[in-house]
Amino acid sequence: MLGGGEIDIQSNVWSQPNTGDAGDRFITALSLAHKYPEAIVLFTGGSGRLMGGTSGADIARDILLGAGFDKSRLILEGASRNTAENATMSLELVPDSLDGEWLLVTSAFHMRRAVASFCAAGWKNIVPWPTDYRTGGFADRIGWDFALNLDDLNTGVREWIGLAAYSLTRRTSDAIEISDCLAVQE
């Protein structure tokens, strides 16, 4: 599960874990953990702030354990600052004995870059598991909510710039290599 759904400032101020727009990632991870009771949940996310900030892993621990999740099934990576670091730093924490498929949980709009980053870092048997969809049907989105439309545009532009930057800096794999790291679905 990629970080990004937690909000560190409010979590610190109010001494309780807070989530934002991508909080669906936690709901999805908890649901999957319930569905697959033997599975390990690996949360990866530090602080993207330039100066300090609470690690996303600390907030995730509070959310997941507060929801009754078994601590022995949890691996936390809290030093990464971006998706490429999520991929490389979390791979270092996975014991060699843990093989099989890895469900990659992140926001739907971010899945392409996340999968490409995890493949470039050397992950195998990835199953993309998108959540936090930001769109509905076309007719559902027609309206005059200018602020919401600008927010959606900002998210899209930021993700496309991220894809371009990651591609130029070789922090992602290309489409042919990606197929090699995905789990075979029957």
How many Å apart are CA 101 and CA 123, to the nearest integer?
Answer: 10
Sequential pLDDT tens for the chain (186 residues): 999 999 988 888 898 999 998 999 999 999 999 999 999 999 999 987 777 778 999 999 999 999 999 999 999 999 999 999 999 999 999 988 778 899 999 999 999 999 999 999 999 999 999 999 987 766 666 777 888 888 888 988 999 998 888 888 888 877 667 888 888 765
The residue range of the domain holding 20 is: 8-181
Neighbours of 128 (CB within 10 A): 17
Tell me, yes or no, whether 24 lies in a domain: yes
Tell me, yes or no, whether 47 lies in a domain: yes
In this predicted structure, what is the pLDDT of residue 185? 61
Question: Coil, helix or strand for 135?
Answer: coil
> Based on the structure, what is the number of domains in the chain?
1
How many Å apart are CA 70 and CA 185, to the nearest integer?
Answer: 28
Output helix, strand, coil percentages for the chain, rounded to the nearest 5.
50, 15, 35
In this predicted structure, what is the pLDDT of residue 184? 76
Tell me, yes or no, whether 96 lies in a domain: yes
Helix 146-168, helix 83-93: angle, nearest 10: 60
CATH code where residue 162 lies: 3.40.50.620
Tell me, yes or no, whether 91 lies in a domain: yes
- Give φ, ψ of 145 to 5 degrees: -80, 80
Do 101 and 127 form a contact (C-beta atoms < 8 A)?
Answer: yes
Tell me, yes or no, whether 2 lies in a domain: no
In this predicted structure, what is the pLDDT of residue 183? 86
E-only strand ranges, the chain? 41-44, 74-77, 102-107, 126-131
Tell me, yes or no, whether 170 lies in a domain: yes
